[in-house]
Amino acid sequence: MMIERLREYVRAETPTGDAAALNAFADRLAERYAELGATVRREQHPTGDHLIADFPGRADAPLLFLAHHDTVWPVGQLDGAMPWREADGIIHGPGVFDMKGGLVVLETALEQVAGHDHRPLRIVVVADEEIGSPSARELVTAEAKGVYAAVGFEPPHPNGDLKTSRWGSTRVRIEVTGREAHAALDPDSGVSAIDELVDQLIAVRRVVAAHDNVLCNVGTITGGGRTNVVPGSAAADIGFRFVDPQTEESVLDAIARLQPVREAQLDIKLLSNRPAWQPLPETDELLAKVAAAGRSVGQHIAGAPASGAADTNLTGWLGIPTLDGLGPVGKGAHAVHEQVIAATLAERAALVAAIITSL
Of the residues 13, 18, 49, 70, only one is catalytic, namely 70
Catalytic residue among 18, 49, 107, 129: 129
Query: Nearest-CA neighbor of 164 among 73, 64, 281?
Result: 281
DSSP per position, 270-336:
EEEEE--B---HHHHHHHHHHHHHHHHTT----EEEESS--THHHHHHTT--EEB--SPSEE-TTST
Bond prior to 99 in cis (omega within 30° of 0): yes
DSSP-derived secondary structure letter, 154: S
Among 288, 329, 323, 289, CA closest to 305:
323
How many Å from the N-terminal Cα to the C-terminal Cα in the chain? 27
d(CA 141, CA 144): 5
Contact indicator for 229, 218 with CB cutoff of 8 Å: no
Q: What whole-number distance in Å separates Cα of residue 320 and Cα of residue 147?
A: 8
Contact 243, 213 (CB under 8 A): yes
- CA-based R_g, the chain, Å: 22
Helices first, then strands: H and E counts in the chain: 9, 18
Establish whether 129 is a catalytic residue.
yes
Answer yes or no: 347 catalytic.
no
Residues present in the chain in total = 359
Supply the residues annotated as catalytic: 70, 129
